């Protein structure tokens, strides 16, 4: 394989959709532990996970005089719970030859036991978020798939997308989100803000209070991300949308040529395979991020001169 193809692996959604559904629910359990113990941060940024060199992490979570952290390791396929006073527990994600994959109910039970043994007992809302038809974690014995190879490839896509998203973030002086992983929608995202308030979000997201959606979209945004597929888009894709969408946004010309506007989703879509197979995947993705943002900012009449700057360069201070 060429280096670019190795860095951007194949990820056909149909081949691992059962594993993706299980993994999403596992990440929700971990994310809800962070949610239960972390002060609210604007736009729900306090609940997200972050890409690491081995998987996904909560980052440090406060616990009185100590902290703890929960990490998914998608190389050795272990979930680690570690405390700042040196204690730890681990859950094996990949079944061995004599065992089956963990169901969501078993993962939840094992997680609660591990937290209790570390003195970190935590109560969470066990109803999954942003999933229309679902069971509480403790009753879900249906989702019990784990394809370790597919999970590793998914994480490798996140690694590369995180790198390009982070570089894209350097070209903005205004308010911008970290590059972070939302376990509710199971996507990696980065968001730019115009600085102006937005009309109230209509809400209606399954198993998500309207107040949370309205706070998340309290201000005008141009947001982009990656998700592995599902629903009307049954393949992995990058997306970009504006809230509120300015007039003419759907008809804007964006790049590269494989990008298109989905009326059903109300956002621009760039199939992952169009990036993976491009001669320069990083450049193709950056072109999508920049052109869709420019469509939102130009049509939305953002103060682009005040908000934008050149993309950051390694070791070079931005010229003021």
pLDDT in tens, 243-274: 999 999 999 999 999 999 999 999 999 999 99
The lowest-confidence range among 5-19, 42-56, 301-315 is 5-19
Residues 6+ apart with CB under 8 A from 317: none
What does the pLDDT read at residue 98? 66
| 133 shares a domain with 261 | no
| 197 shares a domain with 122 | no
Residue 73: pLDDT above 90? yes
| 158 shares a domain with 135 | no
| 216 shares a domain with 285 | yes
Residues 6+ apart with CB under 8 A from 149: none
| 40 shares a domain with 73 | yes
CA angle 188, 291, 268 (to 5 degrees): 55
Beta strand extents in the chain (DSSP E only): 50-51, 55-57, 61-63, 66-73, 78-83, 88-92, 180-182, 187-197, 219-227, 237-243, 260-262, 267-271
| 170 shares a domain with 125 | no
- Coil, helix or strand at residue 142: coil
Phi, psi of 179 (to 5 degrees): -85, 115
The domain of 270 spans 148-307
Give the integer Cα–Cα distance in Å for 115 and 79.
12
Overall number of domains in the chain: 2
Mean pLDDT of the chain: 96
The residue among 252, 238, 259 whose CA lies nearest residue 294 is: 252
Domain ends where: 112, 139, 166?
Answer: 139
Give me 220's structure tokens: 């005008």
Give me 103's structure tokens: 């169901």
Cis amide prior to 256 (ω within 30 degrees) = yes
Phi, psi of 152 (to 5 degrees): -65, -40
Please check whether residue 317 lies inside any domain of the structure. no
């Amino acid at each position: 394989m060429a280096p670019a193809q190795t860095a951007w692996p194949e990820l056909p959604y149909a081949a691992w959709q059962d594993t993706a559904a299980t993994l999403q629910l596992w990440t929700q359990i971990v994310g809800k532990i962070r949610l239960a113990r972390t002060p609210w941060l604007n736009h729900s940024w306090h609940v997200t996970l972050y890409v690491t060199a081995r998987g996904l992490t909560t980052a440090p979570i406060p616990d009185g005089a100590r902290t703890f952290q929960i990490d998914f390791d998608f190389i050795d396929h272990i979930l680690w719970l570690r405390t700042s006073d040196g204690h730890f527990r681990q859950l094996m994600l990949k079944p061995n030859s004599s065992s089956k994959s963990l169901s969501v109910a078993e993962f939840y039970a094992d997680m609660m036991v591990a937290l209790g043994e570390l003195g970190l007992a935590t109560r969470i809302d066990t109803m999954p978020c942003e999933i229309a038809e679902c069971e509480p974690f403790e009753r879900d014995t249906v989702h019990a798939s784990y394809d370790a190879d597919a999970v590793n490839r998914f994480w490798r896509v996140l690694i590369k997308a995180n790198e390009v998203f982070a570089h894209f973030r350097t070209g903005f002086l205004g308010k911008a989100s970290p590059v972070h992983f939302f376990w509710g929608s199971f996507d990696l995202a980065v968001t730019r803000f115009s600085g102006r308030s937005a009309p109230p979000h209509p809400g209606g997201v399954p198993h998500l209070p309207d107040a949370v959606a309205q706070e998340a979209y309290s201000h005008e945004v141009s947001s982009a991300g990656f998700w592995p597929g599902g629903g009307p888009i049954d393949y992995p894709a990058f997306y970009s949308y504006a809230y509120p969408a300015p007039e003419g946004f759907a008809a804007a010309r964006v790049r590269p040529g494989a990008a298109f506007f989905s009326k059903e989703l109300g956002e621009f879509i760039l199939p992952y395979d169009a990036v993976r197979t491009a001669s320069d995947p990083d450049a193709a993705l950056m072109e999508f991020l920049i052109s869709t943002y420019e469509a939102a900012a130009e049509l939305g009449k953002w103060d682009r001169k005040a908000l934008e700057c050149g993309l950051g360069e390694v070791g070079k201070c931005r010229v003021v």
